[in-house]
Amino acid sequence: MSGIEIMTALALGLGLAAATGFRVFVPLLLASLAARLGHLPLADGFTWLASDPALIIFGWAAALEVAAYFIPFFDHLLDIAAQPAATVAGILLMGATLIDLPVWVQWPTAIIVGGGTAGLVQGATGALRVGSTMTTAGIGNPVFSFFETGAATALTLVAIFVPLVALAMVLLLLVPAVRGWRRWRVRRRDAFHS
């Protein structure tokens, strides 16, 4: 692989991983469909993502996930389950896009970059949902859920068709998320020591 191909594959995988932080199954469904239609090349061992069973399972799971997030307070329970699920989905989609890389590069990159990005985005959206619940008594959560589903869909499609734009979008998402996480850690540390 050339340097540009590696950069494109990383941008694609990073975009898909970040999208799983908004919704776990929407990016999996769209990636499965794109692979089936020939728009998303898959690494060795990941061709099952384009199979009929994968499309059916991801389709049902995405529909259930999207619908369930519109139920106030239940959405918080989903966020608890979504944290590890998004991380695994981020690892999976990142690994699936790293074509022709040695396994010793593919999997550590998928785990650290893909899983880390998915987990960070999901953690940030979970924190924002808590803020929405506290300020609107849960009434604003369905609107928040609508935007999360839209973000997952849009970021997945941009990652598949314009990976370098997706990379820029992810960086714009991650900078405030990392800053917020750092502020939270400082406040937590200060509260612990006082």
Which residue's structure tokens are 């068709």?
Answer: 161
What pTM did the predictor assign? Answer: 0.89
Q: What is the C-alpha radius of gyration for the chain, rounded to an integer number of angstroms? A: 17
pLDDT tens digits, 2-30: 778 889 999 999 999 999 999 999 999 99
Quick one: tokens of 123?
């953690």
Give the DSSP letter of residue 51: S
pLDDT tens digits, 101-122: 888 999 999 999 999 999 989 9
- For residues 11 and 5, give the distance between their C-alpha atoms in angstroms, rounded to a whole number: 10
pLDDT tens digits, 53-103: 999 999 999 999 999 988 877 887 888 888 899 999 999 999 999 988 888
